[in-house]
Amino acid sequence: MPAKPKFYLTTPIYYTNGLPHIGHTYTTVVADVIRRYKRMRGYEVVMTTGTDEHGVNVERAAKKAGVPESEFVAKMADAWRALWNELGLPAEEFVRTTDLRHVRTVQWLFKLFRENGYVYKGHYTGQYCIYDNAFVNDAKPGDNCPDCGRPTETLTEENYFFKLSAFQKPLLDLYKKNPDFIQPESRKNEIVSFVEGGLKDLSITRTTLRWGIPVPGEEPHVFYVWFDALTAYLSAVGGPDYEKRGMWPADLHLVGKDIIRFHTVYWPAFLMAAMLPIPKQVWAHGWFLMDASKMSKSKGNVVLPRPIANMLGMDALRYYMLRETVFGQDGNFSYDALVTSYNANLANGLGNLSSRTLTMIQQYCGGRIPKPTDSHVKSTILNLAFTQELGMIVGNNDLGEVGDYNTLNFSGVLQHIERLISNVDGYLVQQKPWAMAKDDAKVQDLANVLYDAAEALRIITILIHPIMPESTEKIWKQLGQPGKLDEERIDKLAWGQLKSGTEIGTVTAVYPRIDHQEAIERIESMANEELNPTAPPALAPTAAPSIAAGAAAATAPAASEKIGIEDFAKVEMRVGQIKTAERIVGADKLLKLTVDIGTEIRQICAGIAQFYEPDSLIGRKVAVVTNLAPRKLRGVESNGMIIAASVGPEGRPVLAGFLEDVEVGARLK
Ligand code: ME8
């Protein structure tokens, strides 16, 4: 079998002085979509992300946290990696700039510069902040430090310089010979004129910075952070031994527009100086803005991904980000638009198509994909519509079509898919399979129409899979399809491949409708908890299974430690009776209960949804802790806690109850 073609793509190597917000998530999501798409076209794909851990900002943040830098960055790197995993975005390579493999690569690259005559020792003079121990870029004598506001001083330090000036012509040649190297086009013009304006040599070592990669034999010189960070793309796939891994050069560096110059000027110049292969393309996307300004922690306008993923699912966020913003341009982020997009495109659009089609197959065709006539498959109007749109989405070389996925026009991909969905909806309304089902003479017509709808659903599910990987797997199973969806070939799709007779799975709503206002309030409430973790952490329903309801997870005293009766008396417990119970969208482990505790009816969330059907709980008497401070769980207020035993290694909750009838509100002592 011939080897698969390779594709290597990267996200930026993110700074470790904060955690990912929606802006970082956007770049990583786009990388993930491209990775999945390329895989579905038969490529061997490696995606790299990672953490940029050196420099004065980290030095400061560690100092503030009162821990050594190495400890600080290790924790941050773990947190970044864990969050990407949680969001379904794990990369093949997660590179840390403190990794040994990376340190070796940086030092090796510098050695090549030296051998090839592209570095020299010189002096750098600039404005320096003695309080922050850092040069202030672009400051003039007399300027204050933008960070601490105190006056800067003019300082000269010895540095190694990289002969960037020697690369003006080679860079301009590179841009000319590879017109797609910088994307989008508007950014390319900006970079070309910057380089045409002349390039100054670049200082690539520092002696005023301590927390960095040492220049071998030249201590106290450490490498400049950007030289350090850019090299991580190469370290991740073999460094000095890159040829063995076979992934370098990168096919695509995805970056935000803020860092395009580093990637399209410095980085290729570094690689040329070391005589290494140059990446094929750098794509700079726009920013996500909040109220028209760039998100930043100091402005207090950051949007976090986790609360959204918890409430609506990561796929809803992915859909919204890719559909509403033209890739390359700036976009505005709003919860309002996000939830509107969820209800319109997912609950009503794809979700509705999926459940109505599958429910009809369940009801009218005995739960099996019906058999259409051969002539119908060839001539159905949907076949024509789909074949045409397919070319526009994934490209069709025979017809010379480019395909929106290939040009990273994700908004275009989704618009085509939306059109397909509404085509199928319109077709069903016109054909009325529910009426055909009542007419014995129309058995074959019914089979034809429902086959069409199911085949359309299969193709749409494959086409949208790179963008919505999690929920499409569910639709795939409900459609009764064998094998893994991500192993389908997106470029070999054709109408009529769905097998008749296949038994479909259990039909459930993949994107349940949600109340607009409630969704926003809950997302905001969860975000608030994550940003201001002053309150005790919310109990993850699985974290302390001995209590069924949400409350602060107080650390239990060691078994041998005894408490006095006065401590126990602080806990007020009463008999309660469950009045209502319902599931909570976006929290599969929680039930929202209303409980009569004698004096009032309380709303309490309990982490028992996987073990108790809501209806079976109505009227049941339970033991309730009634004097806990109210808390929000997954954004839903909980006013108390239901007591349960924790059984087995998984901590299955079993509700505590009473063998004799007891009065509601009676105190437990
Ligand atoms: O620049 N909208 O790291 P960084 C869209 N360590 N994308 C955004 C965004 C927003 N509001 N905010 C951030 C660094 N991003 C360096 C990179 S690479 C060798 C070194 C994304 O943590 C966008 O991709 O500041 C941007 O380029 C990147 O995060 C900056 O991440």
Tens of pLDDT, residues 651-661: 889 999 999 99
Alpha-carbon distance of 198 to 164, in angstroms, equals: 10
CA 42 to centroid of ligand 1, rounded, Å: 30
pLDDT score recorded for residue 544: 32
Each residue's pLDDT tens digit, 121-139: 999 888 888 777 678 878 8
- Which residue(s) pair with 576 in the sheet? 622
Give percent above pLDDT 90 in the chain: 76
Alpha-carbon distance of 448 to 452, in angstroms, equals: 6
State which residues of the chain have pLDDT below 50.
Answer: 535-557
Beta strands in 286-440 (DSSP E): 288-290, 293-294, 331-332
Indicate whether residue 259 lines ligand 1 (CB < 6 A): yes
Biggest CA–CA distance in the chain, Å, is: 92
Indicate whether residue 14 lines ligand 1 (CB < 6 A): yes
**Ligand 1: which of 17, 24, 271 to mutate, most ligand atoms within 8 Å of CB?**
24
CA 281 to centroid of ligand 1, rounded, Å: 18
**Ligand 1: which of 27, 54, 96 to mutate, most ligand atoms within 8 Å of CB?**
27
Nearest atom of ligand 1 to the alpha carbon of 15: 22
pLDDT score recorded for residue 294: 75
Indicate whether residue 321 lines ligand 1 (CB < 6 A): no
CA 222 to centroid of ligand 1, rounded, Å: 23
- Which residue(s) pair with 633 in the sheet? 636
CA 253 to centroid of ligand 1, rounded, Å: 12
CB distance 471 to 511 below 8 Å: yes
List the alpha helices (DSSP H) in 439-596. Answer: 443-464, 469-478, 516-531, 565-568
Nearest CA to ligand 1 atom 23: 256
Report the SS3 class of residue 87.
coil
Helix pair angle (314-324, 22-40), 10° resolution: 90
pLDDT score recorded for residue 632: 84
Each residue's pLDDT tens digit, 45-62: 999 999 999 988 898 889
Each residue's pLDDT tens digit, 174-192: 999 999 999 999 999 999 9
pTM: 0.86
Distances in Å between the alpha carbon of 138 and those of 55, 129, 523, 634, 651?
A: 18, 13, 40, 45, 58
The answer, yes or no, to whether the previous bond of 184 is cis (omega within 30 of 0) is yes
pLDDT score recorded for residue 553: 37
pLDDT score recorded for residue 407: 94
